[in-house]
């Protein structure tokens, strides 16, 4: 029996680590969420720092999530998902199909960066309270322009490929990723996303189908799943969650 995967990510939030957790859960792979172990057992944030300092063979990671496979370390969400997808049949076996999956996952990464910048548009290390004015402006632009651009793109991909999944008949790791992003948007912007989701009916069906997969459903109902907080990528600040102008006019 091979050793379980070892995932290194911050122990107090789902964040980017959740994309990898969902994939591992869906395929039923054995893994250890290392930093969530007690420090006495080699866990905690202290378990991540040597990797970031480059105390590993090969190219050192910049930041978690980091997946350890044997004595090798793989980082960057799209990179890890591509590797695990190939190992567990959640990516097309042909070269072009694998590239398309990676293209969509990298687009998810672009969207994630813009979501993060709605609450930290000036400096990542500064407090939200120190950039609230800029965050309000950035979030308004995101909700009115950027969210429809990105999420609408994934809806069009579903339509073009005929569904039920983003790459057509084959379920891939990208379906897990976009379902998680939609969940995060619902948490962060319940008012705005609630008004928008009627425009992405196929994506919402996909999200429900992902959440109904037996292992995913079990994981979502378990204590292993970490909830969203105002420390992660998806944060709910009511003052940032405003209806776009067109939706506001239509509701009157």
Instruction: Write the pLDDT tens digit of every residue in 59-86.
Output: 889 999 999 999 999 999 999 999 999 9
The pLDDT of residue 247 is above 70: no
pLDDT in tens, 94-148: 999 999 999 999 999 999 999 999 999 999 889 999 999 999 999 999 999 999 9
Quote the domain boundaries for residue 25: 5-88
Residues 78 and 163 in one domain: no
What is the Cα–Cα distance from 44 to 82, expressed in whole angstroms? 27
Domain boundary (52, 67, 88) is at 88
Residues 121 and 150 in one domain: yes
**Is residue 12, in this structure, part of any structural domain at all?**
yes
**Is residue 19, in this structure, part of any structural domain at all?**
yes
Strands 66-69 and 5-8: antiparallel
What's the rounded mean pLDDT across residues 14-22?
97
The pLDDT of residue 239 is above 90: yes
Residues 31 and 116 in one domain: no
pLDDT in tens, 167-199: 999 999 999 999 999 999 999 999 999 999 999
The pLDDT of residue 33 is above 90: yes
Q: What is the pLDDT of residue 17?
A: 97
Cα angle vertex 208, ends 205, 213, to 5°?
125
Q: What is the pLDDT of residue 85?
A: 98
pLDDT in tens, 200-212: 999 999 999 999 9
Domains in the chain: how many in total? 2
């Amino acid at each position: 029996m091979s050793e379980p995967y070892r995932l290194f990510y911050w122990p107090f939030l789902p964040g980017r680590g959740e994309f990898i957790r969902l994939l591992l859960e869906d395929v039923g792979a054995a893994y250890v969420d290392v930093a969530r172990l007690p420090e006495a057992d080699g866990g905690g944030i202290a378990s991540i720092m040597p990797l970031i300092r480059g105390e590993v063979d090969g190219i050192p990671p910049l930041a978690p999530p980091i997946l350890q496979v044997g004595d090798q370390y793989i980082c960057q969400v799209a990179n890890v998902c591509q590797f695990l997808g190939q190992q567990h049949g959640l990516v097309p076996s042909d070269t072009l199909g694998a590239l398309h999956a990676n293209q969509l996952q990298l687009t998810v990464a672009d969207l994630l960066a813009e979501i993060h910048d709605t609450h930290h548009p000036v400096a990542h290390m500064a407090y939200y309270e120190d950039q609230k004015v800029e965050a309000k402006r950035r979030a308004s632009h995101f909700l009115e322009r950027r969210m429809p651009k990105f999420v609408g793109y994934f809806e069009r991909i579903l339509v073009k490929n005929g569904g039920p999944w983003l790459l057509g008949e084959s379920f891939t790791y990208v379906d897990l990723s976009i379902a998680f992003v939609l969940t995060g948007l619902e948490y962060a912007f319940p008012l705005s996303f609630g008004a928008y989701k009627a425009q992405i009916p196929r994506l919402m069906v996909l999200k429900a189908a992902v959440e109904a997969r037996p292992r995913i459903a079990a994981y979502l109902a378990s204590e292993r799943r970490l909830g969203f907080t105002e420390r992660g990528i998806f944060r709910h600040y009511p003052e940032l969650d405003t209806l776009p102008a067109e939706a506001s006019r239509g509701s009157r």
